[in-house]
Structure 1
């Protein structure tokens, strides 16, 4: 009997438990159906109030799972109200950026809906958005003459929400479209495969004025992968492996940077500009002012580090003669022409190969000069007026290996706002075999170095966009050369008699001639042709001094002593002579251009 009663009670308890379970499920379903629209209404209200009625958020369906603390929103759109924006614009209160967002599905985890409903506290562990489409539009802003709402976001939301905390917000595989309407024509850029992660979003009475946070987040990291494209001219292809920014560390890291031009023959057939090529393994910006960049696109960083790569300049063999000044290749000209503001306290380069190439049409060969393992620092790279008032000199201190052989120490000084674009450079080249320079001197100078040892090359040059003057001391031993002429099949042929004459009577085998005597020091005067780019100007200035030392046209003296008054007058005389020669050459070239234009006109 007792056992029978026990079984009956078990059945009763089982039935009651089942009824309670069903009631709980029905209760949660009922709560879901009641709470979900309430929470949706609160969310829409918070977005509306927080944006001063500019933005509306909508979604087709919301599913709330109270037990697991999860919520799913489908077909979400965040859209600006065009009428509200126009009103803001008329009042001068319109924001510089307007956003649109479309997401198919948003997942919220570890949420606490009852805190939101009863305590007005929004607490969420994780928000995930996959494949969102974001559109950012930039507009011009007028000065705001109306009284601004000085309240913080927390103060605006405090009646609806007293506390907002989200542990992690993750946006995966973002498609971003950026439209800039501030110029004459709209500029549109599209970025794919972006990722964003915001950590510890916190909006309360304490964090409303916390300047260590960005958009109330402890850290926001963004990453763009595999970005590539083609320049408007079609001459270059560019690619970046990844771009990563952390707001907490204010560090921007770019890896795998490539700028690749068309093949040289095709490039020069389509362009009169010099041909550039660039590769960098990584570029790091420390102390990057991302907020200023977001507002004005100004680039401001404490330190920039460029590591492992190459930079090549190929001088265009068909530049417009005298009709275009290739001042555009000068580094300090380029800095001035950048439309956006730039400022970098220090730019450090590590292990960069720099190459300069020039084509000789007469023999259809290219000469090249290269510098390997280039390391050093640039100080004060800026085009900002307030910075230039304090310091208008950009200084570069570099160490490199000329033709991968001789160690070269260089110091450049660029005046960043001088009308004459003045600059200076000093340097020292250590011992090396002179035959290493043949890849440059053979195609460009039609000379082959057969033997010779450099003991040291020192120079101190002061330049403007038009002239270069200074001193070059070239110390060497056992110099012998062969004079060349074009041979068959783009080869070289030795000028035997001229080579014998050059080595026997023209070229000095040693500098100094004898041990214990003063070396020959060249006072350099070089007037830059208008179609000479920067690297060609520097190279030809130094080459003119090297030639003077090698040909015995330089005078023996102490290289450390400054120029005497007599030497200064001589230098000025040479400068005047060089200027007159250049003016004569320009007139002759101009006459040829006019004759060519006249012939073309007749033929047409």
Structure 2
């Protein structure tokens, strides 16, 4: 019996030795074949633009494992320049370095004999990816040439590639943009990428559930900071997560903000403009079309969400800007003229605080207006011609608190196909106390509201690039204002008698007024070419307010010219009656003459 076991053991050992020898033999002698196939595959799949080199190719035939050491994938600069000459060069090219590239459960026999590559997983340890972007205008236009699918490029080498999973651990990614021979870089470090179920065969390109032949790509970027090319701003986020299976993108702690404080910012620029800080806790895209992004450079999503944010805009009026024609540059027109095709069904802005601050060059004080706890819904946000042919209107529904007090609800409608920039806006402001606006009136206009009860504001406006027109309703009572003057110590005091006369003779204390007349503002505001969309909107609404409170254009112009010198006129008079007559005659003489002439015409 012992002799039998000796024979059995001997046979098994002999077979193992023979198998080991065969494995060793094929590992050694198939290595050149595998090396050749690997390099052929890279060249075929990239149309000869890329080549691959490595230090060592270690094969364990028994386990089906292959390890490639110090692999480098690089673009061939000569081929790239040739593609540029025939206007077929891509905007992006890559160089990839991997210290260890590991293939597991790799069937060399299937690859060499059947032209089929099966892998359980692929691991890339600490790869370095350098992406170079070089803009070519011909890539902006739609090409009539049909691009070959990946399978058609590799089918002569492999008929099928199937990989269960790919892991890229600790990726260092560098992006370089080359414009007019000037490089601009940013880097992402310690990026983790997981890819599931890769399939490349004659049918995989038709599988709509796959993104670039994969069932899922999951990317996690731990943090990012990018300085803009002008050196004034930076963009950063805490974390970025992308999942192509769930079709979503998530960014946390997103910020766009200046690198300098306000004083240094304007000193460095040497001219006017806005100082902008924008932050959001969460930015999320849902049902994102990654295939359209890769194939057609289109950004399509069902929903975008911006949550818990702030937008602060500041302007120092001591610094002047060169006047620029803003006609045709409103936000909706800027969207329409974007090079990137964009279509987002719904954009939700949730709980954002918005403020505009201005440092007056005349009074050297900062005025501020705020819109607190803002919520907005934007629908049909698109510049895509196909989408706009179905629905030309982009709608914006905004609910906020003005000065953290009155509830403002505005509905915007933008005709995205209008060459004249036609749009509408209508809304209401709920009850609030008028002195809440002193935070912006006192520093910028040297005027304050001492009392006023706003019951309701309602407006219904239409507009285009050149004019805003419509109806403005303003219901209020107990409105009183004060004209201020600055003292030597920097504080302000009210011009008492001037303020009294303004309230008695210029401003309607209520609407309806004491005579029961209800005044409706009929706005017809001509846009100044160098005024922005939002400045024009505000001036149009302000015109409606002025009409309702009794400040006609003639009265307003006369008041602005006379208010500063009125006190001097009053002080020269000897009696109260003299003071009143002197001031009133200066302000209303021309208006009275005009009214008399109009009455004469009517008669």
TM-score by length of 2: 0.79
Report the counterpart of residue 258 of structure 1 in structure 2: 255
> Which of 55, 62, 85 is the aligned partner of 2:57?
62
The secondary structure found in structure 2 opposite 1:111 is: coil
Give me the whole-angstrom Cα distance separating, in 2, the residues matched to 1:44 and 1:309.
50
Shift of 1:513: 3.6
Alpha-carbon shift at residue 529 of structure 1 (Å): 4.3
Output one character per residue of 1:50-105: Cα deviation in whole Å (capped at 9) or x when no partner.
33444332221122234444321101122334455556566666555443322111
In structure 2, what is the equivalent of residue 588 of structure 1?
none
Q: Which runs of 5+ in 2 are unaligned?
A: 561-603
- What secondary structure, in the 3-state scheme, does the structure 2 residue paired with 1:540 have? helix
Task: Find 1:192's aligned residue among 188, 195, 204.
Answer: 188
Q: For 1:451-501, what per-residue CA distance to the aligned partner results, in whole angstroms no more than 9, with x for missing partners?
A: 332210111233344443332211123333333222354432222222333
Tell me if the contact between 1:256 and 1:280 (Cα under 8 Å) persists in the aligned partners: yes
Kindly state the Cα deviation for residue 157 of structure 1 after the two structures are TM-superposed: 3.8
- CA distance in 2 between counterparts of 1:86 and 1:234 reads 32
Of residues 134-143 and 107-116 in structure 1, the stretch that sits farther from structure 2 once superposed is 134-143
Find the counterpart in structure 2 of residue 129 from structure 1.
Answer: 124
Q: Deviations over 1:298-340 (max 9, x none)?
A: 4343432222211222234146478434558732343355343
CA–CA distance in structure 1, aligned partners of residues 423 and 317 of structure 2: 25
Partner residue, 2:34 = 39
- d(CA) in 2 for partners of 1:286, 1:180: 29
Alignment of 1:494-505 (within 5 A): 494-505=494-505
Cα–Cα, structure 1 residues 488 and 64, in superposed 2: closer, same or farther, change >3 Å? Answer: farther
- Could you say which residue in structure 2 is the equivalent of 1:546? 545
Alpha carbons 1:364, 1:490 under 8 Å: kept: no
2:588 alignment partner in structure 1: none
- CA contact 1:48–1:56 (8 Å) conserved in 2: yes
- 1:356 corresponds to which residue? 356
SS at match of 1:362: coil
- Gap change, CA 1:509 and 1:89, over 3 Å in 2: closer
- Tell me by how many angstroms 1:349 deviates: 1.5
Q: Closer, same or farther in 2 for the Cα pair 1:542/1:209, shift >3 Å?
A: closer
With over 3 angstroms needed to count, the CA separation of the structure-2 counterparts of 1:315 and 1:133, relative to structure 1, is same
Whether the aligned pair in 2 keeps the contact of 1:36 and 1:62 (CA below 8 Å) is yes
How do 1:175-254 and structure 2 match up within 5 A? 175-179=172-176, 184-185=180-181, 188-193=184-189, 194-254=191-251
Query: Does residue 73 in structure 1 map to residue 73 in structure 2?
Result: no
Number of residue pairs matched?
Answer: 550
**For residues 23 and 522 of structure 1, what CA distance do their matches in structure 2 show?**
100
- Check conservation: 1:438, 1:449, Cα contact below 8 A: yes
Hey, what does 2:441 align to over in structure 1?
441
Check conservation: 2:286, 2:304, Cα contact below 8 A: yes
Q: Contact 2:316–2:361 at 8 Å: present in 1 too?
A: no
Q: Distance in 2 between matches of 1:151 and 1:501?
A: 81
Q: Matches of residues 328-347 of structure 1 in structure 2 within 5 Å? A: 330-336=330-336, 338-347=338-347
Structure 1 residues 120 and 468, CA gap change in structure 2 (3 angstroms) = closer
Q: Distance in 2 between matches of 1:129 and 1:544?
A: 65
User: Secondary structure at 2:264's aligned position in 1?
Assistant: helix
* C-alpha distance 170-523 of structure 1, shift in aligned 2 (>3 A): same
Q: What's the TM-score once normalised by structure 1's chain length? A: 0.79
- Report the CA distance between 1:18 and its aligned residue: 6.7
1:71-470 to structure 2, matched below 5 A, reads: 71-85=66-80, 97-138=92-133, 140=136, 152-179=149-176, 184-185=180-181, 188-193=184-189, 194-261=191-258, 262-269=260-267, 270=269, 271-294=271-294, 297-318=297-318, 320=320, 323-326=323-326, 330-336=330-336, 338-384=338-384, 391-416=391-416, 418=418, 420-470=420-470
Output one character per residue of 1:543-593: Cα deviation in whole Å (capped at 9) or x when no partner.
Answer: 33223323x358xxxxxxxxxxxxxxxxxxx79x99xx9xxxxxxxxxxxx
User: 1:162/1:522 Cα in 2 relative to 1: closer, same or farther (>3 Å)?
Assistant: closer
Whole-Å separation in 2 of the counterparts to 1:59 and 1:535:
58
**Does the aligned pair in 2 maintain the 1:79–1:99 contact within 8 Å?**
yes
| Separation (CA, whole Å) in 2 of partners of 1:40 and 1:100 | 20
**Residues 36 and 431 of structure 1: is their aligned pair in 2 closer, same or farther, counting only changes over 3 Å?**
same
Pair 414,148 (structure 1): closer, same or farther in 2 beyond 3 Å: closer
The structure-2 alpha-carbon separation of the partners of 1:428 and 1:107, relative to structure 1 and needing over 3 Å to count, comes to same
Aligned in 2, Cα 1:172/1:190: closer, same or farther, shift over 3 Å?
A: farther
Contact 1:179 1:186 in 2 (8 A): no
CA contact (8 A) 1:356 1:535 kept: no
Q: Find the residue that maps to 1:315 and give its secondary structure.
A: strand
**Is contact 2:273-2:321 (8 Å) kept?**
no
Report the CA distance between 1:199 and its aligned residue: 1.2
